[in-house]
Amino acid sequence: MKTLNRFLAVFILTIISSTMMAQNNKAKVLVLIHSDNAGTYELAKQISKGIESNGNVQPIIKQVKSSSHPSLKDVPVASVEELSSYDGIAFGSPVYFGNISTGMSEFLSKTVNLWTNHALEGMPATVFMSAGSGAGNELAVQAFWNTLSVHGMVLVSNGIRGIEKIDKNIPQGNTVLGATSLASVKNVERPSSGEKEIAFEQGNNFAKIVFALKGTFNKNSEIKVSQGKSIEKVLVEKNIVLPNVPKPAGNYQPFVRSGNLVFINQVALKDGKILYPGKLGVSVDENQIKEAIKQTMLNVLAVLKDAVNGDLDKVKKVVQLTGIFNTKDDYTKHADLMNVASNLAVDVFGEKGKHARATFGASSVPVNSSVEIQAIFEVE
């Protein structure tokens, strides 16, 4: 019996060890997308199925920026730093006027340090896109290829794979460079079954190339793109917790973006109630109004985070802060009060947080808040 138990133990350990080795030997492909209305995401799922069908390659779908779309809100967001840790990347994007989408272009613009470190040279890449119509599809894929070729990536085209399986009686979004979909064509589900088939074939072929080239180029676990800390890390280290974005109390928006400027106004709302309401020196003391100022500035930062789609690293400059305080006529220490908000801006954004400033008193502030802060930010 003991001999049998030893044999079973060795057998089980051998299976576990073999399974772990097989997992470690698998190549990993990042399927990196920007998707507006989930059309590119649907193609990405087919690309991933094709990659997975190879058996030796594991696909991982991530997006370049967070999205509130129901199909995309749970898709993880990729970092630029992690790109060099994969064995291959399949890039997916909507077509914007014959070019890459703005979201994907902004993400790729951050890969300069990867380029200078030769981090992606020799790594296989393939491209797929979703378009409103057939116009500009191939131009957009070629534009994508131009960027990836500068990185020295090995560009894998799709050729005419899968074309015999598509319904030629309906418009199909297909190029020899990579799968595309005609998202705006009515009365036909998009991506169409034919477009999905082409995407599957592209994924399967790409997996073969990735596995064949695995280990032939210098793969880094991670290239550090920026020497500075991310804003999210700063918030964690300094125990700064941003509240939920306050809902507007009227017919207006929490923020307005004009060009690269974001405009925000907030009061001392906390958990649906005004924190320390009233007038300084009458119903509120200086310590209480400073707490209200801190809460108001946290509300401003929460709205700002929403304005940059969750990525506070996109903030280039805190341009101006204006503090309006509910004070008596003879009060003159407005600047001291406003230091609470100014210090928080610098704590979070460092040198980028240093700003122009204005402060003044008022006979009253909306919803009986003791403070209102108006803020202007420059963002990417």
pLDDT 10s digit of each residue in the chain, 380 long?
555 555 544 444 444 444 434 445 789 999 999 998 888 999 999 999 999 998 899 999 999 988 888 889 889 888 888 899 999 999 999 988 888 999 999 999 989 889 988 999 999 999 999 876 656 678 888 889 999 999 999 999 988 877 777 766 666 667 788 888 877 666 667 788 888 889 999 999 999 999 999 988 876 655 544 445 689 889 998 999 999 888 887 888 999 998 889 999 999 999 989 999 999 989 999 999 999 999 999 999 999 999 998 989 999 999 999 999 999 989 999 999 999 999 999 999 998 999 999 999 999 999 999 999 999 999 98
User: Helix-strand-coil percent breakdown of the chain, rounded to 5?
Assistant: 40, 25, 40
**Looking at the structure, do residues 207 and 137 belong to the same domain, yes or no?**
yes
The reply to whether 58 falls in a domain is: yes
359, containing H or E segment: strand 356-362
Report pLDDT for 20. Answer: 39
**Looking at the structure, do residues 119 and 28 belong to the same domain, yes or no?**
yes
**Looking at the structure, do residues 240 and 181 belong to the same domain, yes or no?**
no
**Looking at the structure, do residues 42 and 99 belong to the same domain, yes or no?**
yes
**Looking at the structure, do residues 247 and 200 belong to the same domain, yes or no?**
no
CA 329/CA 320 separation, integer angstroms:
25
Across the strands, what pairs with 376? Answer: 263, 320
Cβ atoms of residues 365 and 371 within 8 Å: yes
**Looking at the structure, do residues 268 and 136 belong to the same domain, yes or no?**
no
Across the strands, what pairs with 327? Answer: 280
**Looking at the structure, do residues 61 and 150 belong to the same domain, yes or no?**
yes
Cβ atoms of residues 134 and 154 within 8 Å: no
The reply to whether 4 falls in a domain is: no
Report pLDDT for 132. Answer: 67
Among 213, 240, 270, where does a domain finish? 213
Among 178, 213, 248, where does a domain finish? 213
The reply to whether 5 falls in a domain is: no
The reply to whether 15 falls in a domain is: no
Domain that holds residue 249: 231-379
Tell me the chain's radius of gyration from C-alpha atoms.
27
CA 302/CA 312 separation, integer angstroms:
10
**Looking at the structure, do residues 312 and 367 belong to the same domain, yes or no?**
yes
The reply to whether 239 falls in a domain is: yes
Among 149, 184, 213, where does a domain finish? 213
Q: How many domains does the chain have?
A: 2
Residue with tokens 């707490």: 291
Report pLDDT for 221. Answer: 52
Question: Which of 292, 241, 291, 285 has its CA nearest to residue 266?
Answer: 292
**Looking at the structure, do residues 281 and 170 belong to the same domain, yes or no?**
no
**Looking at the structure, do residues 45 and 194 belong to the same domain, yes or no?**
yes
- On the 0-12 / 13-18 / 19+ scale of CB atoms within 10 A, 35 is buried
Residue ranges of the alpha helices (H) in the chain? 2-25, 39-52, 102-108, 112-116, 137-150, 193-213, 231-237, 286-307, 334-349
Residue with tokens 């805190």: 318
Cβ atoms of residues 225 and 80 within 8 Å: yes
Report pLDDT for 195. Answer: 87
Cβ atoms of residues 272 and 302 within 8 Å: no
28, containing H or E segment: strand 27-33
Report pLDDT for 176. Answer: 80
The reply to whether 219 falls in a domain is: no
**Looking at the structure, do residues 275 and 136 belong to the same domain, yes or no?**
no
The reply to whether 7 falls in a domain is: no
**Looking at the structure, do residues 144 and 77 belong to the same domain, yes or no?**
yes
The reply to whether 2 falls in a domain is: no
